Structure 1
Amino acid sequence: MIRRGESADIPVILDFWAVAGENASRPADDAALVENLLRRDPDSLLVAERDGAVVGTVIAGWDGWRAHLYRLAVAPDTRGQGVGRRLVEAAEARLRALGAVRFDAMVLTENALGAAAWSALGYRPQDDWARWVKPA
């Protein structure tokens, strides 16, 4: 089952990301930031559940102009069973309904598993762009 994430899910989601997410080279996850995300866009966090346990997540961010997908994570013992594909399809449908004409997926350069998953879903690196970041 895929559903929207709720504030009550945040501790479980943070624990899930610690095990299933790629956590190198990025700021640590924080409950207050996830709460802010849900307050601003309550439908942005999609959660896959199986037998009441979280087995996957993706954030489908929409700023009114661009559609961003990130924090795609699937439980290690559930990978290869289509959970990630169903999450991304649900995220794309949500974003398309909001007006998105293109999606981008944020994937760490060294995340070979993530790159393979996004590639299998039809995403490709965009060679003419680089993401520049600055801590807030």
Structure 2
Amino acid sequence: MELKESPIAEAGMLIRRPLADVFEAIVDPAITTKFWFTHSSGRLDEGKTVQWEWRMYGVSTKVEVSEIVPNEKIVMQWSDPPTTVVWTFTKMPGDITFLEVRNFGFAGSGDEQVKQAVESTGGFSLVLAGAKAWLEQGLTLGLIGDRHPKGISAE
């Protein structure tokens, strides 16, 4: 299948917390581990490479941060082969933040790229829902760990 345009995974969520709090939740692994990955080798900083782990799945990935504009944007590359992830933080009235994430640059055939984009959209939707629950209500929903329980086939 030949694609006319490369697929892009996109997800967004309104989070009723100040911009700086939402931004910090993505760059500070002490917060991010409440709703996404289980372990990190460090904080996200421009030009830095960190390792993220999802120990319940025995999976990890290298994350290279190419750009950070505090409280506005994070650009990173991750996975193998690498794709680009862009986080955009938009201040809304009343100390509310709209957080959007876009993931693109998928490799493989057209069908493989589309499959990766669909999976990424679903994954980032769960990440944003988990971030919303944690930041607004202090709830750890376990969405990422519960997405692929043992004994359930991926196919």
User: What band does the TM-score fall into relative to the shorter chain?
Assistant: 0.3 to 0.5
Larger of the two Rg values belongs to structure: 2
TM-score by length of 1: 0.34
Larger helix share, 1 or 2: 1
Q: Structure 2-normalised TM-score?
A: 0.31
Higher relative CO (Cα under 8 Å, sequence separation at least 6) belongs to 2
